[in-house]
Structure 1
Amino acid sequence: MLSLIQNENMKIYRRFGTWFMIGLLALSALAGALIINATYKEPANWKAEVASEIKGIEAQLSEEKLPKMYKNHLEQQLKINEYRLEHNIKPLASNTFWGYLVNSADIIALITLFTIIVAAGSVASEFSWGTIKMLLIRPASRSKILLSKYIATLLFALSMLLLLFVVSAAVGAAVFGMENIREPYLAYQNGAVVEKSMLLHVMQVYALNCVDLVMMATFAFMISAVFRNHSLAIGLATFALFVGPQITVFLAMKFDWAKYLLFANTDLTQYIDGMPLVEGMTMSFSIMMLLVYFVLFNTLTWFIFRKRDIVA
């Protein structure tokens, strides 16, 4: 298995396109920091801004017929803002080290796109290049060959994530400095505001954003194995990545059954903010639905790849 994974990694990193994606990722992290540094305007008086926000939240809470979920979210934000004023803790600004690290998690969408490209070509390219028969005559079983390709794809995604985190940290320190390195993250738990490690918060944001990455990579890998078409796999997965969430949000506004759709559950950061897409959704429910889709995608991939006849 290790030799199979090594072989798949060699295929990935010997391509010029892979190194182009790596360079583009690093460039995106640098460009994002420079743009924020040039355009972000810090409030002259952050306490006045927070106090104004508190008044706005109190005005909204005074309204009748607020959805319970939204009301809870506002109450949490109110408590956090009051805690900020009481303990003199600034809101997390984009032009700070931690603020940029949190914002850099948005670049994971670019990593998702790159991983889709790699996953889409993992199996389909073997058919288009005519190397699939040579691959399958090896002593390893079809299941092991397929698993090695899937693991190599996920390892590529993990490598890109580590690269993004390291480059973003280095760029953030160089551009914004590290004066606020000891700044805490404020969270609302069990009816009280608590101070948490900002590093753990950043890692949590990265981890939760990785859910969409893994699911879309698995989906693209399935299309690649089932239809043996590189372009189709990239097209369908990319379309689902950018259009799927918008369609899901539209459906969630009208139908409760939208919570069973894949894209209603891939964004687990919605539970950090306390604003699930559909009222009544919980973190455990979303994880359960994601596991169902994950097993479904992989079952289809393995079953069809193992049973398919390979035509010369």
Structure 2
Amino acid sequence: MNNLIINENIKLYYQRSTQVLFVLLFLFVLCGGIISKVGSGYLEDNPDWKDDLTKYNSFLTSQMEANPQYVEPYTKEILMNEYRIKNNYEPIADDNIWGFINSISGKLSIATIFSIIIASSILTNEYKWGTLKNLLVKPYSKSKILASKFITVLIYACVQYLLMLFFSWLIGGFMFGFSGTSQPHLFVENNVVKEINLSMYVLINYGLDAINLVVLATVAFMISTLFNNSAISIGVSITIMFSLTVLTDFFSDFFWNKYSLFSNLHLEDYLFGGVPKMEDMTLYSSLFIISMYQIMFLLITWITFTKIKRDV
């Protein structure tokens, strides 16, 4: 089994397409850094930021009267602004290393897309190139072959994710300095403003997004096995990725929505003062439901690959 996993990784990383994806990932982060640097060049230190926040709070207060549906988010923003003024915390911009890393973390979809591409093609390419028969004649069961490919996908996804973080740290450091910022990330929970170290906040967000990456890579792996078509798998998986919020809101009036995969992938709603999509939803319940979907996806994949006969 270990030899299978090693061989799969060697085959994957020797492919030119895989190497190109790593280069594109670096260029993506580099372009983000250049854009942030150029944009920050037009920003000057604002000695009157406290007065600006006070005026902005007045504006938000007037907006709450005109738009009562936004009372909760406006109230949270006012509380955080007052906290900043009281504790001399100037609003955090993207022109520091952790601010940049945090802004890039919101664009992690590029790493997810690359992982979906690999998950969709790692098995279908074996059929396409006629090399699957070489694996099947060796003393390995279909289950072990399938498991080795899925583990390889997970390893690749982790590598992509870690590289995304490393590239962001490296480029952000060169662009804005490695000293970071001493200011914390602020959030409101039960009408009380709380602090968390900015670097810890960014790393937690990366961890939550990594769960979504693994789930979507599994979906792509399952669909490619079902239809033996990487194009369908990539298209469906990327559509799901970009439609998560739309699908969650569309089915929000249905009681079963709390058990859907779409609603439970919004793990960030449970932390830092967020609000779950539906009542009675918790972080642990969402993790459990996600785990059940993962088991179902892998079971469907295993049955399709091991029990259904196909020409190789």
What is the TM-score normalised by the length of structure 1? 0.88
Query: 1:303 aligned to 2:303?
Result: yes
Distance 1:92 1:255, change over 3 A: farther
Distance 1:235 1:180, change over 3 A: closer
- State the Cα distance separating 1:94 from its structure 2 match: 1.6
**Residue of structure 2 in register with 1:249 after alignment:** 249
Task: Describe the SS at the equivalent of 2:143.
Answer: helix
Distance (Å, rounded) in 1 between the aligned partners of 2:198 and 2:81 = 17
CA contact (8 A) 2:187 2:273 kept: no
**Residue of structure 2 in register with 1:48 after alignment:** 51
Distance 1:65 1:86, change over 3 A: closer
**Residue of structure 2 in register with 1:262 after alignment:** 261
- Per-residue CA deviation, residues 109-149 of structure 1 (Å, 9 max, x unaligned), is 01111111100112212122222222122222222211111
- Structure 1 unaligned regions, length at least 5: none
CA contact (8 A) 1:268 1:283 kept: yes
- Structure 2 unaligned regions, length at least 5: none
Distance 1:200 1:124, change over 3 A: same
Distance (Å, rounded) in 2 between the aligned partners of 1:150 and 1:50 = 50
CA contact (8 A) 1:73 1:273 kept: no
Q: Which range is displaced more, 105-114 or 123-132? A: 123-132
Distance (Å, rounded) in 2 between the aligned partners of 1:241 and 1:64 = 31
- State the Cα distance separating 1:27 from its structure 2 match: 0.6
Q: Which range is displaced more, 271-280 or 291-300? A: 271-280
Q: Which range is displaced more, 227-236 or 163-172? A: 227-236
Distance (Å, rounded) in 2 between the aligned partners of 1:166 and 1:219 = 26
- State the Cα distance separating 1:194 from its structure 2 match: 3.2
Task: Describe the SS at the equivalent of 1:92.
Answer: coil
Q: How many residues align?
A: 308
Distance (Å, rounded) in 2 between the aligned partners of 1:248 and 1:90 = 35
Distance (Å, rounded) in 1 between the aligned partners of 2:192 and 2:168 = 32
**Residue of structure 2 in register with 1:196 after alignment:** 196
Q: Which range is displaced more, 159-168 or 51-60? A: 51-60
- Per-residue CA deviation, residues 145-202 of structure 1 (Å, 9 max, x unaligned), is 1111111111111111111111111111111224543222224456643332222111
What is the TM-score normalised by the length of structure 2? 0.88
Letter in 2 for 1:242: F
**Residue of structure 2 in register with 1:82 after alignment:** 82
Q: Which range is displaced more, 33-42 or 187-196? A: 187-196
Percent pairwise identity: 33
Task: Describe the SS at the equivalent of 1:193.
Answer: strand
Distance (Å, rounded) in 1 between the aligned partners of 2:182 and 2:91 = 13
**Residue of structure 1 in register with 2:212 after alignment:** 212
- State the Cα distance separating 1:273 from its structure 2 match: 5.0
* Structure-to-structure mapping, 1:61-80, within 5 angstroms: 66=69, 71-80=71-80
- State the Cα distance separating 1:98 from its structure 2 match: 1.4
- State the Cα distance separating 1:205 from its structure 2 match: 1.0
